[in-house]
Homo-oligomer: A and B are copies of this chain.
């Protein structure tokens, strides 16, 4: 049988109350006694039963998720996943609040972070914008001992506890590697379409892409980056213009959102040479375009995994316990037409069994 607090007490020759004081770092234990207890814990290999502890504490974890608002399929999918997690809150002992703020708006994000702090939650997950003000706001949370996880886009230089997202430099490198190889012998420049250089994930993808293109596929010139603000209408206009200006374009790397606009622009092209298109995030639009052959590769991060991982990490940080490192690494999915997963509701439940 697994040792309990009673076994610690017996092994250390102290009372249950003293064991409890040591375990829960309460005051009123002499250092010698504390060490005696800690040695006993070590010796008998005691591991706290988290389930029982949570039960006794009636623990719930109030978390705040801060996401960009707006018409962005990926972000709306992310929000849907957070809401799915809210649906599981009874089982997972969470109490999650979702806050949306206008995209690429530093002041709004800082205000949301500060407001979250005022509610003193057990943790905050945030899709970060790279800015000194945001870093300061995150560090204020951390100064108040509130764990912070960045979601999707990281915030280097801040004291955030963890980043739940993909390695975006690797994503950019991968895009370049696939682009170069898919183009094979073909010549022609490559266009890059981004949302905004304000967010770190976009910048990192661009860096990775540029590095590998320059290193291995320098035959393809890179056209100036198109900044579409993740806005489909704007993207469509800008891409259309770029395609008209450089009809010899061989490839397009779309590293942000607003892919609906890209797809619309591609559809309007007729009798033109094939273009290798690599885009990010699997949405209904990119999925359809992949199936139609308009897009060649979709690089994806699984929003559901990111949300679940963020929650696990926030819980662990709130409790001061370790996490399974490998489980929390968010992987970059590479989707071709051939390995598209079946479409399904993100929060469907199997027919059999009842959630209890």
Is B325 a contact partner of A349 (Cβ separation < 8 A)? Answer: yes
Is A174 a contact partner of B322 (Cβ separation < 8 A)? Answer: no
Is A334 a contact partner of B334 (Cβ separation < 8 A)? Answer: yes
A48 to B185, CA, bound (A): 62
Answer whether residue A326 sits at the interface, using C-beta atoms and an 8 A cutoff: yes
Q: Contacts A47-B90, A51-B55, A350-B325: A177 and B344 contacting too (C-beta < 8 A)?
A: no
Q: Which of A100-108, A190-198, A335-343 contacts B (4 or more CB under 8 A)?
A: A335-343
How many monomers of this chain does the complex have? 2
Answer whether residue A181 sits at the interface, using C-beta atoms and an 8 A cutoff: yes
A338 to B334, CA, bound (A): 12
Answer whether residue A31 sits at the interface, using C-beta atoms and an 8 A cutoff: no
A321 to B55, CA, bound (A): 21
Answer whether residue A271 sits at the interface, using C-beta atoms and an 8 A cutoff: no
Q: Contacts A184-B184, A185-B184, A325-B350: A48 and B174 contacting too (C-beta < 8 A)?
A: no
| A49-68 contact mask (Cβ, 8 Å, vs B): 1 or 0 | 11110110000000000000
Is B174 a contact partner of A353 (Cβ separation < 8 A)? Answer: no
Is A338 a contact partner of B184 (Cβ separation < 8 A)? Answer: no
The residues in A between 307 and 355 inclusive whose CB is less than 8 angstroms from any CB of B are 308, 316, 320-327, 329, 331-334, 336-341, 344, 346-350, 352-355
Residues of A within 8 A of B (CB): 2, 47-52, 54-55, 88, 90-91, 167, 170-171, 173-174, 176-178, 181-182, 184-185, 208, 212, 302, 304-305, 308, 316, 320-327, 329, 331-334, 336-341, 344, 346-350, 352-356
For this complex, 22 residue pairs linking A to B, each with C-beta atoms less than 8 Å apart, are A47-B356, A50-B356, A51-B54, A55-B55, A167-B341, A170-B339, A174-B336, A181-B184, A182-B182, A182-B184, A185-B185, A212-B338, A308-B324, A316-B353, A320-B354, A321-B353, A322-B349, A323-B350, A324-B347, A325-B344, A331-B331, A331-B333
